[in-house]
Amino acid sequence: MRQSKQGSTSKPSSNGKSAVTVADMLQARASKRAAKAQERRAKSEKLKEEGNALYRVEDYTNAIECYQKAIDVHVHGSAATPVLLTNLAAAYIKLEMYGAAHFTATEALIGDPKSVKARFRRGVARQNMDMLDAAVTDFRTVLSLDPENQETKARLGFVEELSLVNEGIDTGYSDDEFPSPSEDPELEDSMSDSSDCEHGGNDIPCKFYNHDGCAKGPACRFSHAPDNKSERDALGKNVCSYFLMGLCKFGDNRCSYSHSREYLPEKGWWTTAEGLTSARKLYKHARVLPKEVVKVAEDYVAASFGRLGKDKAPQKKKSKNGRCQSHAFLYGGSDSEEEELNEYGFTNSDTQELLSQGVKPWDDDAYDVLAALRDGY
């Protein structure tokens, strides 16, 4: 029976016992989330301190591992996550892994657009990637937030001179400042600290779970967990981010995710015009990243956050000429590259459907995903 958040209508009971109201369900989930969140925060803080200790003795490789683990267990969207990402970016810079540092610092800025450290470190990464105009933008933004930052002043002067000599290098960004420090941080109350959120299955979202409920529970081979294409609501359903942005082409009946806003948090990026604009800009940004950043970003997300394949980075198959397939179809490549994608046995329509779900045609599970989408699970 459908009802409002404030109602107390009972759910039907099949065993004759007292029915459970939606309010009871919400309260039970809230209590469980709070306990789980506290446990994760403590574990994440311990890993962060271990990473900081390793960083201080210049063991940057193991520091990165600690920071990544801390991010993995931390409550998504909480204020500490940008700090962890900023620390991780610093360690990447020490190892001269500037593409990874650039991506990670940008992720930190999305969570905290006013972070001076994250923006400075992204500027350093951009400087070393010859993205000179973009680096100048970051350093100037840092000084607008912290006018007495001497290290940034020195960096800015050097990079401005270098940029004039070399005339900079086109970054491919429509807005080098993104995200602007005037934007609100990405506030997201965690709805992902129940046992359901840990049921990743085969990483393909369970349509039954996100709509009317999955009868198989932990035995389900599909994922009940949140991912980077959805927002968790108070009942544990994963709501389609593209639906919230007004971009989902599948509709409620075909989409693997919920299309209901009813139990989402009252505050979120989807509740304001500014938030929706930022989300759509993020979506657009993913399509114009420099190629070297795209590769690092995908590998990093896969390995560090476990959202694209747990602890396994995405595998790329090779074309007939022996080179790795690019993500040309998603990021705006040539017609010849689009034809190469079709060599995997998918029509253009199939390819678009897979890409809209975050699955590449060369992924090992691409055929299973497409079959699941077509069969409605």
Buried b (16+ CB within 10 A) or exposed e, 30-61: eeebeebbeebeeebeebbebbeebbeeeebe
Say which CATH number the domain at 97 has.
1.25.40.10
Average pLDDT of the segment spanning 311-334: 32
Do the Cβ atoms of 324 and 318 come closer than 8 Å? yes
Closest CA to 360 of 319, 311, 306, 317: 317
Greater confidence (261 vs 176) lies with: 261
Q: Are residues 157 and 200 in the same domain?
A: no
Q: Please report the pLDDT score of residue 78 as a whole number.
A: 54
How remote is the C-alpha of 121 from its chain's centroid?
20
CB neighbour burial string for 233-253, b if at least 16 within 10 angstroms, e if fewer: bbbbbbbbbbbbbeebebeee
pLDDT over 50 at 296, yes or no: no
Residue 175 domain flag:
no
Q: Are residue 197 and residue 244 in the same domain, yes or no?
A: yes
Q: Are residues 70 and 139 in the same domain?
A: yes
For 239, list phi and psi in degrees, rounded to 5: -95, 130
Mean pLDDT of the region 144-168 = 82
Q: For the residues of 358-370, what is the DSSP string, one character each?
A: T--TTSTTHHHHH
Q: Is the pLDDT of residue 21 over 50?
A: yes
Q: Which residue has the higher pLDDT, 110 or 345?
A: 110
Q: Same structural domain for residues 151 and 196?
A: no
The mean predicted confidence, pLDDT, of the chain is 70
pLDDT of residue 142: 92
Residues β-bridged to residue 238: 232
Q: Is residue 258 part of a domain?
A: yes
Query: Do 143 and 207 fall within a single domain?
Result: no
Question: Cβ neighbours of residue 70 under 8 Å, at least 6 residues apart?
Answer: 43, 44, 45, 47, 48, 51, 84
Question: pLDDT category, 11, cuts 50, 70, 90?
Answer: very low
Q: Are 260 and 351 found together in one domain?
A: no
With cut-offs at 50, 70 and 90, classify the pLDDT of residue 97. Answer: confident
Residue 172 lies in a domain: no
Total of domains in the chain: 3
What is the span of the domain harbouring residue 371? Answer: 340-376
Give yes or no: residues 66 and 122 share one domain: yes
Which is more confident, 94 or 179? Answer: 94
Q: Please check whether residues 156 and 203 belong to one and the same domain.
A: no
Same domain, 133 and 70: yes
Domain membership flag for residue 178: no
C-alpha 371/C-alpha 369 separation (Å) is 5
116 and 46 inside one domain? yes
| Spatial CB neighbours of 328, under 8 Å, sequence gap ≥ 6 | 334, 337, 338, 341
